[in-house]
Amino acid sequence: MPPLMASQSPPYEFRDSPGKGIGCFATEDIVAGTIIMRDRMLLKLYNAEDRPLKEADVLRAVDGLDDTQKVQFVQLHEGATAYSNDIMRIYMANSSRKGAINYLCLTMVSLNHSCSPNTERVIDKDDKNFETLVAVKHISKGDEIFTSYFGFPFAITKKARVDALQTDYGFICDCRACTLTSPLTAISDARRTLIDVLKQKTGGFAQDFRMVDPPPSRSEDMFLFGKVAAVLKSPLTMQQRVAYWILLVKLCEAEGLLSSHVVRFCASGVLALRFQMLQLGDLVVCASARVLNFWMSETQRLAKEICGCEAQMTEDVDDIVYETRAMNTNFALTTTRMDDESRAGVTQWPTNGYSLNGAFAVLWDGKGSGMGGRPTVHALDEELCMLLMRGEKTREDVKAGRGVNREVLRHGGSISKTL
C-alpha cells in the first residue's frame, strides 16, 4: 500500500476555488504515490457492468441510512441530469463505479474534476468498504487536488468530455487539457482516441467508436452505465500486444494521464516480452534481451514515480524484474554494456570468445561442459542464430561445434572465423 502522509493532520483543506465553488487544496507538498485520504463508502451497490442501476435498488439503499447519513446525502450536489426523483438525481451525480461495484463516498465527492487529474481513486485493498485517494503526480503546497469524474478510461475527446460534463454535472471544464489551443487540442484528441482503441484491443475487445464523440443525450449511458463491448474477431498476436502496451504507456505519459493503469500496461508489456524470450529456451537474442531490460527499468521507474516506493504495485513490479532475471541465467550477459567491471564478471563463465560485444545472440550450455564442469556461453553471429532458429542447425551442433563455424568475438566486436 502507498505510504500515508507523515503528518498527523490531513495534508489538505477544503476552501473556495475560483469558479468551482469549494475545492480541495494541498496544505503541504505531497509526493506521488502518497495516500492523501481514505473515505468510507456511505452507499455500496452491486450490479452487472453492462447494466444500468435499478432505481428501486438506489431508493432501498438510501432508505437504509440513519437520519444523520440521510441529511448528509440530501445535501450533496444534485447534478444536471433529470431523473424521476431527487434521490436518484443526487446518487447518479455523486456515485462512482469499479467493475460491478457502484458506490458513494461523502468526502471524495467534494473534489473538483480535471481531465488530467493529479490523483487516482482506488478501492482499498485491505478494506473494500473504503476508497483511497492516491497522488499520481507531485502536488505542491497550495495546489488544488483534482480527480476525474470519468474514472479510467477518461481517454475521450474534448467535445465528448464537454458534452458529458455539461449534461451530467452542469459545468464546463477549464482544466489544462480543455484549454489547449486548437492545434494542441487536435493532437490531444488523437492521443486519447488511440489510448481508448489500444486499451480495448489489449483487453480483447473491439473499440466502440460511439464513445469517441457521443451526442449529449447518450452521455449518461456511455459514461455512467458502461457498455457492452464486442469481442475482437481475431485475437492479437503476442507481437501486437507488446507494441500496443508500450504505445499505451507512451501515449498516457504524453497526455499526462498517469495512474496505476499505466504501470499495469508497462508490466504487461514486460511479461509479454519475457514470454517471447523464454520461448527460445537457452537461446537469447542480445537485442531482445536489452529491450526487455530497458522496459523492466521503465516499469520500475513508473511504479516508483506514480505509485510510490512502498506501494504494493511497486513491490509486484520488482518481483517481476527479479523473476525475469532469475529465469534465464545468461540474461545479465546479454544486457550488459561490457565495461571493465562487467567483463570481469563474465569471465567466471567460460565462453568461446573474449567478449560478447559483437554477439547477435548467445546460447547457454547448462550441462557443465566448460572448465571445471561450469556451464558455457556460446556467442553466435546473426547468420548462425537464424540457422538455429530455422532448425537448419541444432543446439547440439553449436554446443559440440559439429559442422559449425565458431565465432570468436574479440574486444571491440571484431570477428574471426575458425574451424
Per-residue pLDDT tens digits of the chain, which is 419 residues long: 455 544 468 999 999 999 888 999 999 999 999 999 999 999 999 876 667 778 899 999 999 999 999 999 999 988 777 777 889 989 988 888 887 888 999 999 999 999 999 999 988 878 989 999 999 999 999 999 999 988 665 668 899 898 888 888 889 999 999 999 999 999 999 999 999 889 889 988 876 655 555 554 544 444 434 445 678 888 999 999 999 999 999 999 999 999 999 999 999 999 999 998 888 888 888 888 889 989 999 999 999 989 888 788 999 999 999 888 877 656 766 665 545 555 555 545 444 444 566 678 888 766 544 444 455 677 788 888 888 888 888 888 887 766 554 443 333 333 333 21
3-state secondary structure of 223: helix
pLDDT for 299:
96
pLDDT for 271:
95
CA distance 330 to 376: 10
- In contact, 341 and 323? CB cutoff 8 Å: no
CA distance 243 to 237: 10
pLDDT for 118:
95
Centre a 10 Å sphere on the Cβ of residue 144 and count the other Cβ atoms it contains.
Answer: 18
What phi, psi does 30 have (nearest 5°)? Answer: -120, 120
pLDDT for 318:
94
pLDDT for 325:
80
CA distance 100 to 28: 35
**Do the bridges between strand 146-147 and strand 119-123 make them parallel or antiparallel, or are there none, so unpaired?**
unpaired
pLDDT for 229:
61
Beta strands in 236-360 (DSSP E): 283-285
pLDDT for 339:
53
pLDDT for 410:
35
pLDDT for 148:
92
Q: Nearest 5°: CA angle at 296, between 98 and 368?
A: 130
pLDDT for 352:
46
CA distance 330 to 346: 10
pLDDT for 367:
54
Largest CA distance in the chain: 90
- In contact, 113 and 165? CB cutoff 8 Å: yes
The one-letter code for the residue type at 391 is: G
pLDDT for 34:
92
pLDDT for 53:
77
User: How far is C-alpha 28 from the geometric centre of its chain's CA atoms?
Assistant: 27
